[in-house]
Amino acid sequence: MSIVAQASDLRRVAFSSDMFRRLLGSLNSYVYELREGDAIVATGRLTLDAVPQPGGTLQLAGRAVTIIDVTVRNGEVLLILEIQ
């Protein structure tokens, strides 16, 4: 395994990062996984007015949840949420 990055690898990372920022800025519909401890207890879709940030909180079905991570999976923005 080489720790020296190729120029093409760096361009791919820069493109992915830019694409991720555009996805977050342009979409307000998200896929989510709701977790309680290590278990996934619910999945679904939701719409938010603001761009979600890790560490933020929101209400889901009347319960406060913490945003653990915001990532891209299968071309969609995925929120990893945890019940407080």
pLDDT in tens, 21-31: 565 555 588 99
Between 52 and 26, where is the model more confident?
52
Asked if 24 and 17 count as a contact pair (C-beta separation under 8 A), the reply is no
Provide the whole-model pTM: 0.67
Look up residue 3 and give its amino acid: I
Can you name the residues that pair with 30 across neighbouring β-strands?
Answer: 46
Mean pLDDT of 5-17: 48
